[in-house]
Amino acid sequence: MSRNPQSSSVKRRFAAAAKAAAERFPGIEVSTSYGTLAIKVKGKFMARLRTEAEGWLAIKCDFIDREILLQAAPHVFHLTPHYENYPMILVDLAAIDKGVLLEVIERAWRMTASEKAVRDWDAQHGPGAAEKPPARKRRTLKKRTARRKREERYG
């Protein structure tokens, strides 16, 4: 039986992305989902290879970011009808820049990790640690006001 070279290349790219994510963000683990390699955060699904043959990574992404990514780089990001109603996007691992992939992984991690894990990571690494600003979560007016007051008090 001959091995598909594209399949092993996809696995290597996936492994590199998972390793980079695990080194950077707490709770990341490599697992499986629907029979393909997956990235989870403390057992919660974050991303998976759609199939090893096609080389697309299905990863969590909020709907607004998804529209921006699809318009900005349609050769890298894709959406099938199956994922239209889910906060997911497909990423071509062969076409995406490593830095952009880490940003997409960070946003997915922020959606999947607990609020405490995200707060702890931000506190440990400082506000300038991320390559781009953290993904914005929708907050109630009361939470936004309380957060602003804390920031004013503690810097």
The residue count for the chain: 155
Of all helices (H) and strands (E), which one includes residue 36?
A: strand 36-41
Domain boundaries, the chain: 5-154
What's the pLDDT tens digit per position in 129-150? 544 444 455 556 666 677 777 7
Confidence of residue 126 (pLDDT cuts 50, 70, 90): low
Which backbone phi and psi does 146 adopt, to 5 degrees?
A: -65, -40
CATH (residue range 5-154): 3.90.1150.30
42-85 pLDDT, tens digit per residue, is 999 999 998 766 778 999 999 999 999 999 999 999 999 999 99
Tokens of residue 93, six digits? 């691992």
Query: 0.85 cut: is pTM over it?
Result: no
Distance CA 83, CA 144 (A): 31
Distance CA 55, CA 6 (A): 8
